[in-house]
């Protein structure tokens, strides 16, 4: 797996759904390890739930001697437009082995799975001064990735606007103050297809958190507009 690739891998059947932000989301779960990672993903209410305020909780847990990750998948393709995620949790200090991914993914491998990523991760390197990135896959292609430093302040707002010839990313704090921004207009901008929006919390290379602590991220809202 390429660093910076939040690839979902072939999807198992999604037996459980949650309602969040006016949409239905399937909850990823399988008895065996899957990508990204590889990791175990669970649809337990300990890993994925929506609270009384309508906020989505993604939790990385340790149960029965195994780490279990969380991922939700939108039930439809949205295509071109602006995808906005408001994160209630202070995500600037995630464990070096933990990744939070906000992204699109198409099971069809054409166009690099139509994967557009906002990721919060140090990829196992606790000394990396940057902890987040914007990506248009493939991430190993020069110019397809921009690293930045996500501060500790919460909440934060992250978005990308996907057009036929460009993807424009933005991250701001709760007041609208810019954290980072980037516009990509290279040859790898994918055409819209059957991609779905995913949100996940997982372990890089399947390695346990350095601090061996469970981690939870709260997503307070998601919106889409054409």
Determine the Cα–Cα distance for residues 57 and 44; give it in Å rounded to an integer.
12
Residue 2 binned pLDDT confidence (cut-offs 50, 70, 90): very low
Q: Tokens 């991922």 sit at which residue?
A: 71
78 closest CA partner among 104, 60, 59: 104
The top-level CATH class assigned to 16-225 is mainly beta
Q: What is the pLDDT of residues 148-192, one digit of tens each?
A: 999 998 999 999 999 999 999 999 999 999 999 999 999 999 999
- pTM for the model stands at 0.95
Say if CB 15 and CB 59 are below 8 A apart.
Answer: no
Helix, strand, or coil (residue 113): helix
Q: What is the pLDDT of residues 9-18, one digit of tens each?
A: 555 668 899 9
Residue 1 binned pLDDT confidence (cut-offs 50, 70, 90): very low
Determine the Cα–Cα distance for residues 124 and 153; give it in Å rounded to an integer.
22
In the chain, where the domains are located = 16-225
Mean pLDDT of 37-51: 97
Is it the case that residue 6 has pLDDT exceeding 70? no
What pLDDT does residue 10 have? 56
Q: What is the pLDDT of residues 78-127, one digit of tens each?
A: 999 999 999 999 999 999 999 999 999 999 999 999 999 999 999 999 99
Q: What is the mean pLDDT of the chain?
A: 95
Percent of the chain whose pLDDT exceeds 90: 92
């Amino acid at each position: 797996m390429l660093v910076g690739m939040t690839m979902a891998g072939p999807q198992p059947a999604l037996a459980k759904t949650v309602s969040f932000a006016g949409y239905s989301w399937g909850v990823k779960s399988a008895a065996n390890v899957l990508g990204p990672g590889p990791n175990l993903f669970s649809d337990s209410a300990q890993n994925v739930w929506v609270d009384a305020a309508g906020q989505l909780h993604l939790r990385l847990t340790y149960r029965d001697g195994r780490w279990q990750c969380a991922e939700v998948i939108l039930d439809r393709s949205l295509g071109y437009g602006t995808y906005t995620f408001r994160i209630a949790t202070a995500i600037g200090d995630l464990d070096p082995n933990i990744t939070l991914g906000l992204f699109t993914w198409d099971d069809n491998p054409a166009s690099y799975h139509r994967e557009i990523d906002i990721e919060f991760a140090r990829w196992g390197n606790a000394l990396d001064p940057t902890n987040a990135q914007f990506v248009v896959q493939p991430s190993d292609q020069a110019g397809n990735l921009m690293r930045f430093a996500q501060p500790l302040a919460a909440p934060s707002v992250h978005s990308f606007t996907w057009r036929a010839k460009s993807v424009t990313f933005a991250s701001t704090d709760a007041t609208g103050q810019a954290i980072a921004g980037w516009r990509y207009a290279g040859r790898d901008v994918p055409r819209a297809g059957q991609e779905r929006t995913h949100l996940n919390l997982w372990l890089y290379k399947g390695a346990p958190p350095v601090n061996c602590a469970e981690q939870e991220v709260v997503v307070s809202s998601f919106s889409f507009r054409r």
